[in-house]
Homo-oligomer: A and B are copies of this chain.
Amino acid sequence: MSDARRSRRGGRRPGGRGAATGGAPAAAAGKPYITRKIPYFEVVSEEGLQVIEDNAETILEEIGIEFRDMPEALEILGNAGANIDGVRVRFPKGMCRSIVQASAPSEYTQHARNPDRNVQIGGKNTVFVPAYGSPFVFDLDNGRRYATIEDFQNFVKLAYTSASLHHSGGTICEPVDIPVNKRHFDMVYSHIKYSDKAFMGSVTAPDRAQDTIEMIKIFAGDNYIDPESGRPRTYATSLINANSPMTFDDTMLGAAKVYAENNQATIITPFILAGAMSPVTVAGTAAQSLAEALAGMTFVQLVNPGAPMIFGSFASSMSMQSGAPTFGTPEPAMVLYTMAALARRLGVPFRSGGSLCASKLPDAQAAYESANTLLPAVMAGVNFVLHTAGWMEGGLAMGYEKFIMDADQAAMMAVLLGGVDVSENGQAMDAIREVGPGVHFLGCDHTQRNFKNAFYLSPITDNNSFEQWESEGSLDHAQRCNKRYKKLLAEYEPPPLDPAVDEALLDYMKQRKDSMPDSMV
């Protein structure tokens, strides 16, 4: 996004003031993503990070990574200098790092259907993205149930109306009422139809990735190709998980290859339950994650040097009592801080974090755990914060109330990332001089000039007196969020979409859906 466009919208703080108060589209609140003005927080020293990097190189060289069921990947990697032993690929020390650093962009623009909502991914930028991948949804009225395409569309609409979310996400929840082999059409269509923010494509098969790209071409039209570079513009950022430990499979790699060939972005993510898929330590999990991500990113850069790409990390720790994944505990936060620092040293955008929790309800556990992941994600400098809003029950459920409360938190994070204003107005010495000892500041000039945007104002938290709160029904936070999501959905208005484009999308979907029988795999 150009500086000119930015300044045209005025100098309001990024995604901040009023962002969550109105449900107004993001563009109205300033830049459609956040550029941080505060430092990064790191927990591991320079020397410690070097040790972890060295261990990752040792893993790549001595142990290697398996690329399963995809001879083409083995050929590509072998041709580039890796040692192929069956499906095991061993990389000489430094090979992956040098290939990634030679061509991977340090940041890229993900284009949205509405160019005012293009997001810049990498560098000092933060993009908040809804949660991804749950089979269930939850709301206070109906409890937990399987997700449908209507739920999916509802969450696309809620993300569209949430100024603090910069992105429409991908498989927000699984629309289980549509056959597995056809639901990607409806999901991609919903992102295009009910939002104009950037979104994520299908990754469950190479041809589904291709369908995503074809549907992008339909709405992007002439804009799809960048006339300067002659390459496609990046309209999709899609999630490629490793099968940790140290394994990639053909499904995910095949989708990654399709996206890379078309200059679309992929997030190469070791998905780790520490203790099961990695060692029980932070430094061990970090080294393994780095090795896996380097191997996957190397593959992408070999497929198409310069294809945009995000280094991803998802780590939760295992309850050593029950084997269940736990969230919001300190160890995964330390993995997150460590991985963010490693990604910065590598020079690629980084994805992690979000409002992760294990809770089955939008209760205090959900909130503590979510805050204990979202705040580290923000402090660590995560660029693409997947799972920012809605995540419940270890990712098994997408919550309506949880989505609202998380989006409110994301709006607060935008203010925090804006840092401290030490301008003359920020110093407020005129106010202190005017007021003096023992008097209040409410009426002074400085307060009058600044009060509207002075402090973040949440649309859902209750700060009233006990008596007033009681008179309003003694609602808890989840109950207030229940009211709010219904209000936002009732007030939702879709972004304009050219009817010809809509028709072309529907035609494409129909033709493709008709070409194959329904399948539940």
Contacts and interface: CB of A to CB of B under 8 A. Distances in A.
B441 A329 contact: no
Q: How many copies does the complex hold?
A: 2
A320 B283 contact: no
Tell me if A's interface is mostly helix, strand, loop or mixed.
mixed
What is the size category of the interface that chain A forms with chain B? 35 or more
A363 B365 contact: no
A463 interface: yes
A277 interface: yes
Interface in A403-447: 405, 409, 412-413, 415-416, 419-422, 425-429, 431-433, 435-442, 446-447
Nearest to A327: B463
Contact of A466 (B41, B283, B393): B393
Contacts of A394: 463
A386 interface: no
Interface stretch (A52-60, A172-180, A213-221): A52-60
Nearest to A16: B330
Contacts of A326: 455, 458, 461, 463
B281 A426 contact: yes
A30 B283 CA distance: 23
A431 B284 contact: yes
A153 interface: no
A416 B368 contact: no
A331 B409 CA distance: 13
A44 interface: yes
A465 interface: yes
Nearest to A323: B442
A334 B363 CA distance: 26
Given A281-B454, A334-B416, A456-B331, A65 B437 contact: yes
A444 to B, nearest CB: 8
A457 interface: yes
A247 B463 contact: no
Interface in A453-486: 454-458, 460-466, 469, 474, 476-478
A422 B48 contact: yes
A330 B413 contact: yes
A324 interface: yes
Nearest to A324: B463
Nearest to A409: B368
B275 A447 contact: yes
Interface in A246-294: 246-247, 274-284, 287-288
Nearest to A363: B476
Given A360-B469, A365-B367, A379-B41, A464 B324 contact: yes
A320 B363 contact: no
A225 interface: no
Nearest to A425: B281
A76 interface: no
Contacts of A416: 330, 333-334
Given A64-B437, A438-B243, A438-B246, A319 B463 contact: yes
Interface string A353-375: 00000111111111111111001
A436 B88 CA distance: 10
A446 B280 contact: yes
A281 to B, nearest CB: 5
B455 A319 contact: yes
Given A319-B463, A364-B364, 5 more contacts: A43-B419, A246-B436, A280-B451, A320-B457, A359-B462
4 closest cross-chain pairs (CB), A and B = A284-B428, A279-B428, A367-B367, A371-B371
